[in-house]
Amino acid sequence: PYDGPSAVEIARKRAEFLSPSLFHFYSKPLNIVEGKKQYLYDEHGRRYLDAFAGIATVCCGHTHPDIIDAITAQANRLQHSTVLYLNHAIADFAEALAAKMPGDLKVVFFTNSGTEANELAIMMARLYTGSHDIISLRNSYHGNASGTMGATAQKNWKFNVVQSGVHHAVNPDPYRGAFGPDGEKYARDVKEIIEFGTTGHVAGFISEAIQGVGGIVEVAPGYLPLAYDAVRKAGGLCIADEVQVGFARVGSHFWGFETHGVIPDIVTMAKGIGNGIPLGAVVTTPEIAQVLTRRSYFNTFGGNPLCTAGGLAVLKVLDRERLQENAFIVGAYLKDRLRGLQEKHQIIGDVRGAGFMLGVELVTDRQLKTPAKDEICQAMEHMKDMGVLVGKGGFYGNVFRITPPLCFTKEDADFFVDVMDIALSKL
Ligand code: PMP
């Protein structure tokens, strides 16, 4: 049993000593003290089904014993910075990660977060092309340092950093976008940004395959191949931000970009890569990687042995437990059941996503698509009271984000949908 400080005590310390900008989802914040597989436990030992997984972070389930063993063994052996000496942990993980990549994507740079990975990717694109302009999508989230905050296009996450050389393209959003699911029409905007807003040369284009923070928006089919084409014609590199969508989450493929039939020039990742430990990576081609030899590039903890030993264990667990297949099968089942719920509840405007990256958008009027902002908060509270934790996001904050650990079962999916059904009925 837990004998640490209570939720009230922690909340008091947090209010006094931590950032005043921190927020939480529930009227009474939860004190989560333990996690196992797809479950989290609060200070009273109450169990919650975790359908958010720390923002799509825990892919193999909480405290997976194999991953804990790998990290503990490495911690007992050696902990130090990455670059000065040889160590097998970083090399082994880089090799295993490269094996998951298509084409010529086989050089790995390790970082500590998704933000760092995207900052590095953007810098490499600028160095490689000698151009400055970056195109990203409206409603995207790419990080919280100045370059990535510039590329992020949702005002909720922006401070007044100098946003230099970033253009935000019309979001290829099949539900709310002006062109519906017509990827080709949205891609024209990328061409026009290049034509009207740049010298005709760009550094690159960055996009998620399914926007996570943006509310599980699946980039319209046909969009990415055409956008990539336009960007490459302007000399730019194409960056896939796989921080949330990557690592087997979409089920049908290991990476989100693969569902669009494109091969990026640079791929960035974080979150799921470490199953909860701080780790990120940039993977690119040997040719593009060369740009960083012009100077020294150094990251003290990027790829440290503890995190890379954990990362390698994550890849092994994903393979051995066939978690991608589980995300495919159970994810499709869950989406199907959510579609059933949509027939029953008028408030569900849209059900979307793939595998275990699913979204349910709540609207008070299906024609006008009026965001049901208060209702979603009430529903989340009811769901929490019934033992289910889910995420929320989207520009209007009215989209349930369902991104459970990939070991989520069919029974969990049924329980989840039944609980959501009751919560929506109570509104
Ligand atoms: N890219 C995407 C798609 C993300 O969802 C996030 C985090 N929400 C980031 C980048 C930034 O990652 P981090 O918080 O690890 O810096």
Task: Please indicate, yes or no, if residue 1 is contained in any of the structural domains.
Answer: no
Report the residue count for the chain.
427
2 domain residue, yes or no: no
Q: Give the ligand 1 atom nearest the CA of 211.
A: 3
Ligand 1 within 6 A of CB of 285: no
**Do 120 and 223 have their domain in common?**
yes
| The pLDDT value given to residue 278 | 96
CA-to-CA distance for 322 and 406, rounded, in angstroms?
9
Q: Which DSSP string corresponds to 300-354?
A: SSTT-HHHHHHHHHHHHHHHHTTHHHHHHHHHHHHHHHHHHHHHH-TTEEEEEEE
Based on the fold, state whether residues 237 and 278 are members of the same structural domain.
yes
Cβ-based neighbours of 23, under 8 Å, separated by 6 or more: none
Q: Is any ligand 1 atom within 6 A of the Cβ of residue 393? A: no
Q: Per-residue DSSP letters for 195-255?
A: HHHSSS--SEEEE-SEETTTTSEEPPTTHHHHHHHHHHHTT-EEEEE-TTTTTTTTSSSSS
CATH (domain of 34)? 3.90.1150.10
This prediction's pTM? 0.98
The continuous run of DSSP H or E covering 184 comes out as helix 183-197
Q: Is the CB of 243 under 6 A from ligand 1?
A: yes
- Asked, for residue 98, whether it belongs to a domain, the answer is yes
What is the three-class DSSP state of 279? Answer: coil
Q: State both tokens at 293.
A: 């030899």
- Whose alpha carbon is nearest atom 5 of ligand 1? 244
For residue 111, give the nearest of 119, 102, 123 by alpha carbon.
119
3-class state of residue 393 by DSSP: strand
Domain stop point among 320, 346, 375: 320
Residues 213 and 186 reside in one and the same domain: yes
Same domain, 366 and 253: no
ipTM of the prediction: 0.99
Domain assignment present for residue 202? The answer is yes
Nearest Cα residue to 404 out of 361, 362, 348, 353: 353
DSSP-assigned letters across all residues of 87-152: -HHHHHHHHHHHTT--TT--EEEEESSHHHHHHHHHHHHHHHHS---EEEETT----SSHHHHHH-
> Does residue 122 fall inside a structural domain?
yes
User: Tell me, what's the pLDDT at 182?
Assistant: 98
Distance 141 CA to ligand 1 centre (A): 7
Span from the CA of 411 to the centroid of ligand 1 (angstroms): 30
Which of 148, 154, 244, 257 has most ligand 1 atoms within 8 Å of CB, for mutation?
A: 244
In short, whether 404's Cβ falls inside 6 Å of ligand 1 is no
Q: Calculate how far, in angstroms, residue 355's C-alpha sits from the geometric centre of ligand 1.
A: 19
Of 301, 320, 339, which closes a domain?
A: 320
Instruction: Give the total number of structural domains in the chain.
Output: 2
113 CA closest ligand 1 atom index: 15
Say yes or no: 103 and 117 in one domain. yes
Ligand 1 close to Cβ of residue 212 (< 6 A): yes
* Same domain, residue pair 269 and 368: no
Q: Do 219 and 196 share a structural domain?
A: yes
* Residues 307 and 231 grouped into a single domain: yes
> Which parts of the chain register pLDDT below 70?
none
Residue 275, in any domain of the structure: yes
Domain assignment present for 372: yes
- At 70 the pLDDT is 98
For residue 415, report the distance from its CA to the centre of ligand 1, in Å: 29
Q: What residue numbers bound the domain in which 270 lies?
A: 65-320
Q: What are the two backbone dihedrals, phi and then psi, of residue 413, each rounded to the nearest 5 degrees?
A: -60, -45
CA of 291 to the centre of ligand 1 (A): 24
Both 25 and 86 in one domain: the answer is no
> Cβ(118) to ligand 1 under 6 A?
yes
Is 311 found in the same domain as 168? yes
**At which residue do the structure tokens 């928006």 appear?**
217
Both 270 and 376 in one domain: the answer is no
Which of 320, 342, 377 finishes a domain?
A: 320
Do 299 and 420 have their domain in common? no
Where residue 241 sits, what CATH number does that domain have?
3.40.640.10
| Residue that has been written with the tokens 């892919």 in this structure | 59
Q: Is the CB of 154 under 6 A from ligand 1?
A: no
Residue 149 Cα to ligand 1 middle (Å): 10
CA atoms 169, 170, 172, 175: torsion sign: positive
Task: Say if 305 falls within a structural domain.
Answer: yes
